[in-house]
Amino acid sequence: MRRKFQQGARSGRDLRVRLILAGLALVAALAGAWGLINVRAIAIYNEGTHTLSANVRQAQNPQADPASIKALQDQAEHLFAQVERPGLLILPQTRQAAQANRAANAALTSRTERLFKKQKADKARDWQNGSGKGSSSGLTERQEAEVEDLLKRSQQQSEPSASPTPTGKASDNKGQGRNVKPW
């Protein structure tokens, strides 16, 4: 009888040890998942911060493309929202930094939208006043004059019987083909 009692006590101890080990494994798995979530959030935060920095640099350029700035701002906004998505699982420092950068991105977005609206209004006003004659092509008046001069010279040099081939040579078979200007 003593033997049965000892076996029962041993199996009870084994069960408790197994339950304790399973609990520790569960805690370790949860801690690992929490750590991975935070590492991923920090990596996304770093990428968002890099995008925001590039966007600030680009927004300071007076000749920056508004569409590319808007795309960078949208990308940064998406990244910071992605950092905050896990909610309370994220470390408070990471969450606060992401919220601060998200607010900075929103402020930059409103600033650049105001700036580009002002630039559009200025260009429209200049166009209406006649000072923006060459601004539609992006060339200065001198450059437009040079292009027109080249076009005139090209038309004078071309012969009606010579048609350009894909290689840019006139299609005469005498071996004396001239270069035909594509403009």
| Residue pointed to by tokens 């905050």 | 84
* pTM: predicted TM-score of the whole model, two decimal places: 0.56
Instruction: Check residue 65 and give its pLDDT.
Output: 77
Q: What is the DSSP letter of 131?
A: T
In this predicted model, which residue has the larger pLDDT, 140 or 33? 33
Please write the tens of the pLDDT for every residue from 37-93: 999 999 999 999 999 888 888 888 877 777 788 888 888 889 988 988 888 888 899
Please write the tens of the pLDDT for every residue from 105-158: 888 888 878 877 877 787 778 777 765 444 455 566 777 777 777 667 666 655
The domains of the chain are located at 2-126
C-alpha–C-alpha distance, residues 90 and 174, integer Å: 78
* Mean local confidence (pLDDT), 1-5: 58
3-state secondary structure of 169: strand
